[in-house]
Structure 1
Amino acid sequence: MDMRMNRRRFLGGLAAAAAVTSTPSLLAAATRRPNIVVILADDLGYGDVSSYGAKDVATPHIDSLAKQGLRFTNAHTDAATCTPSRYAMMTGSYAWRKDGIAVLPGDAKLLIDPQQATIASVLKSAGYTTGLVGKWHIGLGDGTIDWNGEIKPGPCELGFDDAFFFAATADRVPTVYIHNHRVVNLDPADPIHVSYKTKIGNEPTGKEDPELLKMKLSEGHDGTIVDGISRIGWMEGGKSARWVDEKMAATFTGKAVEFIDRNHDKPFLLYFTPSDIHVPRAPASEFAGKNTCGVRCDVISQLDWSVGQVLAALKRNHLDENTLVVFTSDNGPVVNDGYDDGSDRKLGQHKPAGPWRGGKYSIQEGGTRVPFLLRWQGTVKPGVSDALISQVDLLASFAALTKQAVPAGSAQDSQNMLQPLLGRSAAGRESLVEEATVLAVVEGQWKLVDRSERPGIHTKPETGGLNEKSTRQFWGQPAYPTAPLELYDLKADPYELHNLASEHPEIVQRLREKLQKTRAATR
């Protein structure tokens, strides 16, 4: 209480001094280094949030960010799948620049070189205390992971002071939490072993023992059964460390709130990455069965609760006006993604991607155009922005906000978008590149999909989940596109139904040259 009182007196003194001297810089000093909270949802679509048009599920806490801050309508992830999009946001570099970035298995090697700049390392150099809570999925270790010893390099080697996370996704082994470098609650007498190549151990699997499942399969995900749900890959051991799916949201949210409470008196970065609404969808009892659009909407409600808890922690610690909050998603939506949880049958009139075509795995706008909300009370005026924004820009923008230089040779695709992010400019990026199995470039109202430009990644991992053909058919897209070049006017044709490439060859040529130039560029 004394600390908060002293802080209020300090800020009040600055305000009084500014009033006397009419020097705006004194007021600016009070908010020169705001706390930064980035909340990155998983597989949440543009149309899954009430403030972006959802009718059948309510998201009041997420919507409060829209009411009190800026709602961006033209914000994008780098890729239509999670590992590349998370890599790009964290490093400020398009993932397709690095060979072999795919949706990783749970035992994959760390993708980011510890010498490479990240959002966390840049803010740490500015004096921030940095924390990760939630899903990681950018790899761990240097090739072989000893789950029973120190697990490094990882988030802590990339700039995070404290990290409570799991390695990949909730549908992959190992199904354990990690704190900094060690598995949480691991019994040394019951060591963990993991394989993504062949079955290990004698534990039941979804393929061999489907009668033990509490969640049926639709495709893949037939490895080791943990907590009644079979996963991608096989594991044995670590029984005391295994999570309970229905408690995961509360566990991660509680750790995020603890981080805020523990660091409220100093500048901090909280990178909060809930597992929701990724499969397997296993909401806590207070959210299960509450929405007419099925369990997928139930976990949207659970995600909204998590956001509300974080916002309440900021308010309780009197940090609302000194915290910049970003809420977004790692890629577009998916409905049936390997578990037969009824989401596709109960979707009803709900449109996960909103007005856009496609979703997760697809090059259409629904794959990368996502909710993006920014709140900084007292600094950012509430409203709506149509500025073209990419998540890859967060690194350079946060560096500018905290007066840090972007390290040479890093973040080559990140642009300083601080002015549009703070609502001080309507002009965002001139263009950006989108990634799925192919690349596309967006500039203004125009979008060119160039199917000859392949980033060299896979839309799905080596086992489990829907393949590209079935996913494309679900979203109402042809399974095998025939046009090598597709040009769309997103303003007139947001659903990308009318290929205008033959009608505007000059635009095709210009955008194709821009895409090729971007691919070749380094700085």
Structure 2
Amino acid sequence: MKITHISSLACLLLGVLFLSCGQAKPNIVFIYLDDLGYGDVSAYEAGSLETPNMDRLVNGGVKFTNGYASSATCSPSRYAILTGTYPWRNENAKILPGTAPLLIDAAQYTLPRMLQDHGYTTGIVGKWHLGLGSGDVNWNEEISPGPNQVGFDYSYILAATQDRVPTVYIEDGQVVNLDPNDPIEVSYEENFPGEPTAIDNPELVEMKWHHGHNNSIINGVPRIGFMKGGDAAKWSDVDMADHFLEKAQRFVRENATLDQPFFLYYALQQPHVPRTPHPRFEGKSGMGPRGDVILEADWVIGEFMKTLEESEILEHSLIVFSSDNGPVLNDGYYDKAVEKLGDHTPTGPLRGGKYSLFEAGTRVPFATYWKGSIDPGVSDALVTQIDLMASIGALIGAEAKAPDSQNLWETFMGKSQKERSEFILEATTKTALREGDWVMIPPYPGPAVQHQVNIELGNAEEYQLYHLEEDIGQQHNLAKRNPEKLREMIKKFEEIRGTSGSRIQPLELK
């Protein structure tokens, strides 16, 4: 479907029209999971886990079957959802270490900054993973720039991922519970003298590492990177979901007023590794820790929804539910995610997974929910998380200032099937084109399968062309049978992406 672009002026007029109909600006909540696959949510009818609270959002709002994260990995997708910008435009938008500087330029116009400018109180609770500071962060002082410098009034985060150091919470730029007599030191280059690691001290490891996670040991879990000190500030892994839930609930209760709306970016850490379910959920899924933490996340979402209801603001809150990229089973620890999978299919009918250019890398659970304002329904429209900034801008009468973001407000509201005409998806700095029902993947060097995680990456020596309506599992490469369509998509890809860095090769079809 060819998209009709709406001018910035028209977007503003739509927002003004909406507000003039007596509707106050809604609260806006992003519930954003980590590595949750298309088939992990039972509303998508592709797996065997039961996720009733996620289903409430998906089935009670607009369920998107063609909803995409921008990338098949975390930091790039998080960059895109907050800036409305393709992550491949920023050469540093890749999986970041815990010591990376802030990825978002502090002067960049962001979604939370746009909302601030239009009267919103803004907050983030959960995983950040977009870098902090300007380099060489001193974790024992105020850490800046960070979320509070790119549009968030309040932030309570973990710096990177649960499997990376530093293993501490940071509130408004300050490490929580830090003892100044036990300063924190962090390095991703070399260990600190005398500090145990999974390699040198395997007897201290309670969660066995499979690949890559063999540095500092915190709470019996070996991590990526080295850390010394900060013992009083270290988090409890099994309590993390409860901890973030309490902070998200507090933010809602403190801002539950119809006089001033709020924006909450609630970024859950599940089901990313290390999967450390609270004892209440241990063994509950029968699928090992990965299944358990998905059920834990589902419970957390249910409790959060109760808070919106008890605060009498559910009908005044637009909720966006999604994931930063597709699923992965073995992602660094032996936790029986593969052995106990059973007949569950985290990718649903899709090929690939996290890190992959195939569909399961970026096509994710995606729903918009607004009780009383969005009628339940299913949409096959092509939408992306990048489009949330322009669409929310249209909703509140703001100019998004994000050229890659398209105004699909009526689609997100379930009033239209208007969609993107094309989308450049990304996986580990490599890109491909989706246009209509077609996907074109250029030739890329490298292994076809990342054997450590057992995921097909989409690398091949030849062009790949798939028609998703007829072949959602991408089993039939149509490049040689459809040379004209392939040439058309290559041209479109080059127009959007540019040839620099695209690795497009001369087209030779026999």
When the two structures are superposed, what TM-score results if normalisation uses the length of structure 2? 0.91
Q: Which amino acid aligns with 1:510?
A: E
Query: What is the CA–CA distance in structure 2 between the aligned matches of 1:222 and 1:515, rounded to whole Å?
Result: 40
1:495 equivalenced with 2:473 (yes/no)? yes
Secondary structure at the aligned position of 2:39 is classed as helix
Tell me the equivalent position of 1:113: 105
- Does residue 305 (structure 1) correspond to residue 287 (structure 2)? The answer is no
- CA distance in 2 between counterparts of 1:86 and 1:406 reads 17
Note if 1:270 corresponds to 2:249: no
Give, in whole Å, the separation in 2 of the partners of 1:436 and 1:490: 19
Greater helix content:
1
Task: Give 2:385's match in structure 1, choosing from 385, 391, 401.
Answer: 391
Contact 1:31 1:322 in 2 (8 A): no
Please give the per-residue CA displacement for 1:459-515, whole angstroms capped at 9, x wherever unaligned: 9xxxxxxx962157x23x4896232x1000111111111111111111111111111
Q: Deviations over 1:62-89 (max 9, x none)?
A: 1111232111000001110001111111
Q: Deviations over 1:395-422 (max 9, x none)?
A: 1111111101123xxx221111101100
Residue 462 (structure 1) aligns with: none
Gaps of 5+ in 1: 1-23, 460-466
- Relative to structure 1, the CA distance from residue 193 to residue 285 in structure 2 (aligned partners, 3 Å threshold; closer, same or farther) is same
> For residues 340-419 of structure 1, what are the structure 2 equivalents within 5 Å?
340-407=334-401, 411-419=402-410
Query: In the aligned structure 2, how far is the partner of 1:342 from the partner of 1:349?
Result: 14
Q: Aligned-pair distance for 1:451?
A: 2.7
Alpha-carbon distance in structure 1 between the residues aligned to 2:436 and 2:18: 39
- Counterpart residue number, 1:425: 416
1:434 aligns with 2:428: no
Amino acid at match of 1:147: W
CA separation in 2, counterparts of 1:158 and 1:27? 26
2:96 to 88, 100, 104: 104
Once residues 213 and 59 of structure 1 are traced to their aligned partners in structure 2, the CA distance between those partners, rounded to angstroms, is 32
Maintained 8 Å contact 1:206/1:222: yes
Amino acid corresponding to residue 363 of structure 1 in structure 2: L
For residues 389 and 143 of structure 2, what CA distance do their matches in structure 1 show? 26
**Identity rate, percent:** 46
Give the deviation of 1:202 after TM superposition.
2.0
Q: What is the CA deviation profile of residues 323-352 of structure 1, one whole-angstrom value per residue up to 9, with x for unaligned ones?
A: 000110000000000000111111111110
Counterpart check, 1:469 vs 2:467: no
Q: Deviations over 1:51-70 (max 9, x none)?
A: 01254321111111123211
Partner of 2:167: 175
Deviations, residues 6-61 of structure 1 (Å, cap 9, x unaligned): xxxxxxxxxxxxxxxxxx97996443410000011000000000101254321111
- After TM superposition, the runs of 4+ consecutive aligned structure 1 residues lying more than 3 A away are 24-30, 477-480
Query: Within 1, Cα distance between the matches of 2:301 and 2:209?
Result: 30
SS in 1 for 2:198: coil
State the 1:442 CA deviation.
0.7
Conserved 8 A contact 1:201-1:235: no
Q: Tell me the equivalent position of 2:201.
A: 209
Report the CA distance shift for 1:136/1:77 in structure 2 as closer, same or farther (over 3 A).
Answer: same
8 Å CA contact 1:281, 1:296 repeated in 2: yes
CA distance in 2, matches of 1:297, 1:490: 28
Contact 1:56 1:293 in 2 (8 A): no
Residues 433-474 of structure 1: CA distance to partner in whole angstroms, max 9, x if unpaired? 11114211111111000135x9xxx99xxxxxxx962157x2
Given that 2:128 and 2:159 are in contact with CA atoms closer than 8 Å, whether structure 1 keeps it comes out as yes
- Distance, in Å, in 1 between the alignment partners of 2:203 and 2:354 is 30
2:486 matched to which residue of 1? 508
Q: CA RMSD in A?
A: 1.9
* 1:445 aligned onto 2:437: yes
Paired position in structure 2 for 1:132: 124
Give the TM-score taking structure 1 as reference length.
0.89
Partner of 1:187: 179
Letter in 1 for 2:451: S
**1:147 aligned to which of 139, 143, 147:** 139
Q: CA separation of 1:471/1:78 partners in 2, compared to 1, >3 Å: closer, same or farther?
A: farther
Equivalent residue pairs, number? 481
The amino acid of 2:300's aligned partner reads: S
Q: Which of the residues 323, 330, 337 maps onto 1:329?
A: 323
Q: Distance in 2 between matches of 1:469 and 1:355?
A: 20
